[in-house]
Structure 1
Amino acid sequence: MRLLRAIRHLCTGSLMVRRRFDRQTLAAIEEAVRRAESLHAGQIRFAVEPGLPLSALWRGQTPRERAIEVFSELRVWDTEHNNGVLIYLLLADRDVEIVADRGVAGGVVSAAQWEACCQVMESRFRTGAFREGAIAGIEAVAAVLARHPPGRAAGNELPDAPALL
């Protein structure tokens, strides 16, 4: 299993990301983030990474662990009201992780609610519907944030454009 995962990660590169997330798809995701953020005070950041480096695979790094690193690297935590949410896609694993800052719903959003948002995306990604999956996932996260308002809005603090890592 470990060898198969390593091969999958080494064979998944930026070209594959560009095929699945072309300019039109990236623009649609950016617009979906913009629309979603108008419904609540949270800040959403969408990031796609093709695969992990061999050193991370050797250490057995999980998609969740990498998502937490990306949360920090993209400074999603650096909002005035700690209301940032990262949607992270590790393409080689077709795994989606959501990392929410401590100001998001004061910890009342259950892991099951975030997992349901991830499953919305993952099910569409399995069929190759990357644009639809990303937008549906952003809308699902927005619905969670609308039900559990994350404090006050402080303007658009994070880029709406997806991050391609």
Structure 2
Amino acid sequence: MRSNIKQLMGLAAMHGHWLRRRHFNEAMLAKIAEHIRQGETEHTGELVVAVEATMPSHEADPELRALEVYGRLKVWDTPFNSGVLLYLALDRRAIEIVADRGITASSAQWQRVCENLQESLAKGHYQHGVLAAIDTIQAILKAQAPFGDHHQDSLANAPVIL
């Protein structure tokens, strides 16, 4: 049984790398970065998209891995405590959103974003799904972190490939 689990994990990892290469190519990454840049002109929030083909063996829980990535990428390090991480683990088909304390959106709002994105990804609509998720997150940030006098783009807009 143990070898079957390892084999399945190996297939999931290969599938995750295939999905990453197929759907998150340079053109797609550029579209995501531009979408983030444009959206951030309307609020003081900071959105980071992180895509991981295969979750590392030291962390099997996607929620905990998202928290780890959130910290490592310093998404929390924004002037208005308004950073948001959209994390995708392709091998696990997991989507997590981690928001800083300055964003008071409800768990239900974040859950809807994840569910809608999951539905799009299941249909193979990666570009549409990710860009729609970004739009929804930007709308939440526009309501939660309105544009201020001291707005600065403190985090990179380019998606992070882990």
TM range (shorter): 0.7 to 0.9
User: How many equivalent pairs are there?
Assistant: 158
Q: Does 1:143 align with 2:146?
A: no
- Identity percentage of aligned residues: 36
Unaligned runs of 5+ residues in structure 1 are none
Q: Which runs of 5+ in 2 are unaligned?
A: none
* Cα deviation code 1:57-88 (max 9, x no counterpart): xxxx2111100000011110111111100000
**Aligned AA for 1:139?**
D
Distance between the aligned counterparts of 1:4 and 1:99, measured in 2?
A: 31
- TM-score normalised to structure 1 length: 0.86
Match of 1:155 in 2: 152
Secondary structure (helix, strand or coil) at the match of 1:109 reads coil
Equivalent position of 2:47 in the other structure: 44
Give the superposition deviation at 1:3: 5.5
Tell me whether 1:30 sits opposite 2:33 in the alignment.
Answer: yes
**Secondary structure of residue in 2 paired with 1:68:** helix
Deviates more, 1:7-16 or 1:69-78: 7-16
Equivalent residue, structure 2, for 1:91: 90
Match of 1:115 in 2: 111
Please tell me whether residue 128 in structure 1 is matched to residue 87 in structure 2: no
Q: Distance in 1 between matches of 2:31 and 2:13?
A: 28
RMSD over equivalenced CA pairs, Å? 2.1
Question: What TM-score does the superposition give when structure 2 sets the normalisation length?
Answer: 0.87
The 1:39/1:150 distance shift into structure 2, 3 A limit, reads: closer
